[in-house]
């Protein structure tokens, strides 16, 4: 069952969060120390869940410096009847209501596929400063092209969006685990809606 109250699409979105854990800026070493495989696997699992609910197979989550998941979100485009409800938008909207900007700058977003230009912008403006993604935008386009003659994708990497800011850099890791991240998209047909 979706949690309509916070718009994440996740019934079990985490709500507990120790602010005292997040008083210092996340370092590169801390980012590197995180269990990327475990966290990305969860994002991919959520992406599969989104597809089962009738939405596009995408999901994202936020993790703290200890690898604790503090918030999860799925794509909810079709169940919300709103084409802007990409998983990262849902995640950033819920996170903006829940966390201080300083806290957001100390969290890492794991997303099952590379953020599109819209979601990269939302991530930037929400204040998240570290992103790990599974499928690249190119790989996603290739996967979708199998069943969809004109896949509705933007040919722009999230790095291109983030690099337009000279003052607020965002660290990006990805693509990672593309074979696993591609599974929720196998045979996916975009609903004609």
Nearer to Zn ion, 16 or 81 (CB): 81
Nearer to Zn ion, 84 or 101 (CB): 84
Q: Among 88, 103, 106, 114, which one carries the catalytic annotation?
A: 88
Question: Residue 133 belongs to what H/E stretch?
Answer: strand 130-135
Kindly write out the interface string for residues 85-104 of this chain, putting x where it contacts Zn ion by CB under 5 A and - elsewhere. -x------------------
Identify residues 58-87 at the interface with Zn ion (CB under 5 A): 86
Nearest alpha carbon to residue 106 among 129, 132, 72: 129
Nearest approach in angstroms of CB 21 to Zn ion is 28
Residue with tokens 């507990």: 16
Nearest approach in angstroms of CB 84 to Zn ion is 8
Nearest alpha carbon to residue 172 among 124, 102, 126: 124
Nearest approach in angstroms of CB 153 to Zn ion is 10
Nearest approach in angstroms of CB 88 to Zn ion is 6
Q: Is 56 in the site for Zn ion (CB under 5 A)?
A: no
Q: Is 114 a catalytic residue?
A: no
Identify residues 104-133 at the interface with Zn ion (CB under 5 A): 116, 118-119
SS3 123: helix
On whether the CB atoms of residues 49 and 59 are closer than 8 A, the answer is yes
Nearer to Zn ion, 70 or 119 (CB): 119
How far apart CA 127 and CA 95 sit, in angstroms, is 10
On whether the CB atoms of residues 137 and 120 are closer than 8 A, the answer is no
Spatial strand order of the sheet with 171-173 comes to 69-74, 59-63, 108-113, 130-135, 171-173
Nearer to Zn ion, 31 or 118 (CB): 118
The number of residues that bind Zn ion (CB under 5 A) is 4
Catalogue the active-site residues: 88
Q: List residues binding Zn ion (CB under 5 A).
A: 86, 116, 118-119
């Amino acid at each position: 069952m979706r949690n309509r109250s916070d718009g994440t699409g996740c019934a079990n979105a985490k709500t507990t969060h120790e602010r005292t854990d997040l008083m210092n800026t996340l370092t590169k070493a801390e980012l590197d120390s995180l269990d990327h495989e475990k966290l990305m696997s969860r994002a991919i699992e959520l992406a599969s869940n989104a597809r089962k609910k009738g939405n596009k197979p995408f999901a994202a989550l936020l993790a703290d410096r200890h690898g604790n998941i503090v918030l999860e979100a799925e794509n909810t485009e079709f169940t919300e009847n709103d084409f802007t409800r990409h998983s990262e938008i849902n995640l950033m909207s819920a996170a903006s209501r829940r966390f201080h900007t300083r806290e957001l700058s100390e969290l890492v977003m794991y997303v099952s596929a590379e953020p599109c230009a819209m979601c990269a912008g939302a991530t930037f403006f929400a204040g998240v400063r570290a992103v790990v993604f599974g499928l690249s935008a190119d790989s996603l386009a290739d996967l979708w092209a199998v069943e969809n003659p004109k896949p509705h994708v933007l040919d722009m990497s999230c790095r291109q969006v983030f690099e337009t800011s000279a003052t607020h850099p965002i660290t990006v890791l990805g693509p990672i685990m593309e074979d696993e991240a591609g599974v929720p998209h196998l045979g996916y047909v975009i609903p004609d809606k």
